[in-house]
Amino acid sequence: MLNVAPRVRQYETLPSLQPPGIPAAAPLPVGESEDTRRIIERFGDAVLAAGMHHGQQIVYIKPDQLVPLAEFVKTDPHLRYETLIDVSAVDRSELPVSDHRFHTIYQLRSYSRKQHLMIVCPLEDADEPTAPSLTGVYSGANWPEREVWDLMGVRFAGHPDHRRILMPENWPNHPLQKQVPVGGEEVPFTLTWEDPEFESLGKQILEAKSVPPRLPPGMNLENMVINLGPHHPSTHGVLRLVVELDGETVVNVDADLGYLHSGFEKTGENKRYKDFVYYTDRMDYLSAMSNNLGYCLAVEKLLGVEIPPRAQALRVIMAELQRIASHLFWLSTHVLDVSGTGMSLLMYATRERERILDLFEMACGARLTVGYMRVGGVSRDIPPAFLPHLEEFLKIMPEQIDDYERMLTHGPLWSERLIGIGKITREEALDMGLTGPMLRGSGVDWDLRRDAPYSGYENYDFKVPVLNEGDCYARYLVRMEEMRQSLRIIRQAVDNLPDGPYRAEDRKITPPPRAELDISMEALIHHFKLMTEGFHVPPGMVYHGIESSKGELGFFIYSDGTARPYRLHVRGPSFNNLYAISKMSKGHMLSDVITNIGSIDIVLGEVDR
């Protein structure tokens, strides 16, 4: 075992405060839907349980029928679950259950029917858990299954590339298993440097063993094999791509991830629900508001709490401002990578992004890692000066977007570098589980804000830009139009901004106003319990996705009834979309790899998590 800090620190644990019967396993689904009924008719006793849970369709299936089930729901004309959104797993060793330590969890989506299906597969062997791979049904299962193997230790029989994906190949364990400690070093506090606490400060706690690099599967040393990154300005972070070249033509690309792996999920499972909001800022640090929103919505789904209309409108405003800010940063860096107008547009787009960050600072005091959302609403109401400054931004921004397009859209250099490059067909986008502009640029008309609305998006009138070409140029046009539509949504939210509270008034979830603490003992008790213990979430499990700037950002939470998530998994759009880099780049020039990276629009903090 690693010589690190204990997994549970005593000063963070109050075991005596657990209600009777807690922790508890998530309850089985109840009731039925048309889809679950059809699956039961087809698979009979192989279905261990099926029904509804928190409004979600859930099916428990035996491992030997997992692949046939996936093939059935994908090809059956009445179901048509054409894409796999996510794969995760739960280690139930610390729950009061005696069977099936590991469950693998699959999120499937039917775009044509606007339906979502969660499949749970209990695995038999607790020591060497093995599940059948779904890569033969959905190619997009490749990287998520590798992640589950790497972090949870579940093998996938039949997987074509069973390597670790985030941790080094010589890592001694699978970090998300419950017996593995959180890790890290306690921060010592002392008044003298002679204190023994400082003996190990700054020292390597793991053996710094160097492992010779291996040639990625499918590559041939008869061709030239080079490293692109991890220290390259156009990989947008510490991303290493192993590129096989025949002259200047790309034969194969293999992504080496994990340089920024920070253990977000493990950390989230050891923090109270209310405290993890601030950690989400640090994943996709260009979309902090969206990260906050996605996590809070998942927790609120488990709690069943109703969010006040004003809080919902403020969330929409902030999320759409964040979408514009993220797209502006994507545009400025993408242009800098591939086009001669780069430095000029970098300054122009950054100028408008600064206006948005100024608005964020007015609302919450921070510009990048904002921590503005809260479970139950937002942290505070907007100040009086916010709306006038927002009105000014809404007035000037459409013309600025027009200026960007005049610089780029019909420019010969820009067109030559993007048109026909990184092409992905509609069928390939669905099969790989791509989302966001990567999906809409390939002709799939889907946007979670419209098709699975949250935070009141069903009340807003906006268009979803969709293009069929599937190349880098199409994705550029989609994102440019998305900025215009975000302005349209913000305009409606401002014009119809309701009065009222900015967070739920359930005192077991949100703290009482400061003024109440001086006059109400009950308010003081609620405040004390929230600050010391947090709020307890009923046992259950949910998946909730939002339409962030880069695609679907999803959170899977398994609650055991305590004040901390038993299992927290993040489905990051950058991670899943980056899987397409090899398909996009094969047959193109080396310089086109840079164009493809920019077109995917990745942030390595979210890829590596």
Peptide bond into 23 cis (omega under 30): yes
Q: Which residues contact 293 (CB under 8 A, 6 or more apart)?
A: 315, 318, 319, 373, 455, 546
Q: What is the C-alpha to C-alpha distance for residues 407 and 430, in angstroms, rounded to an integer?
A: 33
* Cα gap 545→298, rounded to integer Å: 8
Helix (H, G, I), strand (E, B) or coil at 398: helix
Most distant CA atoms of the chain, gap in Å: 79
Residue 96 in this model has a pLDDT that exceeds 70: yes
CB of 564 within 8 A of CB of 269? yes
pLDDT in the model for residue 239: 86
- Tell me which of 3.40.50.1820, 3.30.460.80, 3.40.640.10, 2.102.10.10 is the CATH number of domain 22-157: 3.30.460.80
145 vs 1, more confident: 145
| Beta strands 155-157 and 130-132, pairing class | parallel
How far apart CA 351 and CA 39 sit, in angstroms, is 54
- Residues 20-33 have a mean pLDDT of 83
Mean pLDDT of 111-126: 91
Average pLDDT over residues 429-451: 93
CATH of domain 264-507+536-592: 1.10.645.10
Q: Say what the pTM is.
A: 0.91
Least confident of 198-212, 285-299, 403-417: 198-212
pLDDT value at position 199? Answer: 67
pLDDT score of 282: 87
Q: What angle do CA 11, 22, 50 make, to 5 degrees?
A: 135
Whether pLDDT at 489 is above 90 = yes
Strand ranges (DSSP E) for 189-342? Answer: 224-228, 240-246, 249-256
Average pLDDT along the chain: 87
CA distance 150 to 168: 9
DSSP letter assigned to residue 26: P
Q: What is the pLDDT of residues 554-581, one digit of tens each?
A: 999 999 888 899 999 999 999 999 999 9
Q: Tokens 């939002």 appear where?
A: 546
Bridge partners (DSSP) of residue 252 are 244
Question: Encoding tokens for residue 423?
Answer: 């092409």
Gap between the Cα atoms of 580 and 328, Å rounded? 23
* pLDDT at 46 > cutoff 80: yes
Distances (CA, A) of 548 to 67, 323, 327, 448, 552: 30, 7, 11, 9, 6
Indicate left, alpha or beta for 561 from its phi (over 0: left) and psi (-120 to 50: alpha): left
Check for a shared fold between 22-157 and 264-507+536-592: no
Quick one: CA torsion of 80, 81, 83, 85, rounded to 10 degrees?
160
The domain segmentation of the chain, as residue ranges, is 22-157, 264-507+536-592
Contact 130, 144 (CB under 8 A): no
Give the model's pLDDT for residue 185.
Answer: 52
**What is the three-class DSSP state of 128?**
coil
pLDDT value, residue 464: 93
The sheet carrying 47-53 orders its strands as: 47-53, 56-61, 115-122, 102-110, 83-91
Residue 101 pLDDT more than 70? yes
